[in-house]
Amino acid sequence: MPHLSPTVSSCAKVNRSRRAFLRAATGVVSGLTLSGCGWTLAEVRPLQASAKTANELHIYTWSSYIDDALLEEFKAQTGVTVIADTFDSNETMLAAFQAGKGAAYSIIYPSDYAVAKMIELKLLQQLDLSRIQGLENILPRFQSSVHDPGNRYHVPISWGTTGLIYNSTKLNPPPTDWSYLWTQQRTLSRRMTLINDTREVMGATLRSLGYSYNSSNPQEIKQAYEKLVVLKPAITTFTTDAWRDQLIAGDLLIAMGYSADAMSVTLANPALKYVIPSSGTSLWSDTMVIPKSAPNPDVAYAWINYVLQPSVAAQMTERLNFASPNQSAHDQLPAPLRDNEILFPPESLLTKCEGVAPVKESITELYEKYWTQLTSS
């Protein structure tokens, strides 16, 4: 997203995208029984809170994971109002915390690779897994992360791939790989966008060159940067979010985007298609974490337990079009959604994907140096 979305609450409509920043205040919950679920929120203890914040929860998340129905049901079950802000990238979120602006939030939704950075910066609480119900339903591939071995600090909330969303009525031949952006650069000029994410864009370019999404080789990274410099004049903008309406309207021909967003726009305009590049792409997950500065960790656990319920997770997938790592939720989905290859691609495609993995600080700095040069020139 190129901008911050407006603050939202349980009575406001949230702009849907994979990346968004939710702001919420602390809440007090004690002995709350989840209606129709037959179990209680785990160990929710009252906190000392001001009257102003006693029934509010501050959350930092991608907006594609929140809608009115979710917030209203949580409030009905707990009495807690969720207040939300949005961010356009993990880098924006991390910068806010490093600047000391994250103290209001009790739940954050960083992407998997950002969890490692937040652990390194000592921004997160280690989770008390005994207070979380439903972890056994998480798919095996997400039970332990390279970013956080043993999932000590995070709970996965969604997963997906990164690919190309394109107008099938205007692009012939259609794209099959990242290299299409360069071979068709003249046709796509000023009608394409790339994600506002350093590692995703550099990773995709590295894959187009035959290298790993997570290369630590300075020469390979330099080659990727130089290849992007060639493409730069044809790029309309780097945005994680704002491409959607333009692509639906036909103003753009192609956008780099996430599978969850691809699902939404292809439903809005059947002429739009999504392709996982043949050379490979990223397999990402977004997560829930509790920051050390969380003013209300008790209600943070209540929120985690709430969204881990299979029925809630399945409803979120149906309404918000993202893939849940919750196997029990997946089993509850209607067959057309369960079999949708945008959200749930076959294993043959997933074997070509890599998660965005941690790299040494010196390599991170190299990526950032080239990214700054690319986006500011």
DSSP reduced 3-state for 206: helix
Task: Give first-to-last CA distance, the chain, whole Å.
Answer: 19
118 shares a domain with 139 = yes
Q: How far apart are CA 211 and CA 133, in angstroms?
A: 40
Check residues 226 and 50 and name the one with the higher pLDDT: 226
Give yes or no for a contact between 343 and 337, defined as CB atoms under 8 angstroms apart. Answer: yes
Q: Domain range holding 145?
A: 56-159+285-338
260 shares a domain with 143 = no
Residue 12 falls within a domain, yes or no? no
- Beta pairing, strands 155-167 & 107-108: unpaired
- Say which CATH number the domain at 216 has: 3.40.190.10
Number of independent structural domains in the chain: 2
pLDDT at site 23: 26
Backbone angles phi, psi at 26, to 5 degrees: -75, 160
Task: Out of 30-39, 105-114, 169-178, 339-348, pick the least confident.
Answer: 30-39
Residues in the chain: 377
pLDDT digits (tens, 9 = 90+) for 45-86: 333 344 345 588 999 887 677 888 999 999 999 999 998 777
pLDDT at site 19: 37
Q: Is the confidence at residue 22, as pLDDT, over 70?
A: no
DSSP reduced 3-state for 277: coil
Residue 207 falls within a domain, yes or no? yes
pLDDT digits (tens, 9 = 90+) for 300-313: 999 999 999 999 99
Residue range 251-263: mean pLDDT, rounded: 95
pLDDT at site 54: 53
369 shares a domain with 247 = yes
Residue 17 falls within a domain, yes or no? no
Q: Is the confidence at residue 27, as pLDDT, over 80?
A: no
147 shares a domain with 200 = no
Q: Is the confidence at residue 215, as pLDDT, over 70?
A: yes
Q: What confidence category does residue 41 fall into, taking pLDDT thresholds of 50, 70 and 90?
A: very low
313 shares a domain with 240 = no
Helix pair angle (90-98, 112-120), 10° resolution: 20
Residue 35 falls within a domain, yes or no? no
CA distances from 146 to 108, 117, 285 (A): 19, 12, 12
Share of the chain above pLDDT 90, in %: 65
- Global pTM? 0.78
Q: Is the confidence at residue 28, as pLDDT, over 50?
A: no
149 shares a domain with 209 = no
pLDDT at site 61: 81
CA distances from 56 to 47, 81, 93 (A): 12, 5, 21
Q: How far apart are CA 17 and CA 62, in angstroms?
A: 7
pLDDT at site 130: 96
Q: How far apart are CA 68 and CA 14, in angstroms?
A: 7
327 shares a domain with 206 = no
pLDDT at site 53: 57
Name the nearest CA neighbour of 156 among 291, 324, 302, 23. Answer: 324
Beta strands in 168-316 (DSSP E): 192-194, 235-238, 254-258, 272-275, 283-288
Residue 130 falls within a domain, yes or no? yes
Residue 62 falls within a domain, yes or no? yes
**Greatest mean pLDDT among 12-21, 27-36, 46-55, 162-171:** 162-171
147 shares a domain with 94 = yes
Q: Is the confidence at residue 36, as pLDDT, over 70?
A: no
214 shares a domain with 302 = no
pLDDT at site 253: 98
Residue 154 falls within a domain, yes or no? yes
363 shares a domain with 297 = no
pLDDT at site 254: 98
The kind and range of the H/E element at 202 are: helix 198-208
Check residues 236 and 32 and name the one with the higher pLDDT: 236
pLDDT digits (tens, 9 = 90+) for 95-153: 888 888 788 899 999 999 899 889 999 999 999 999 999 999 999 999 998 889 999 99
Residue 22 falls within a domain, yes or no? no
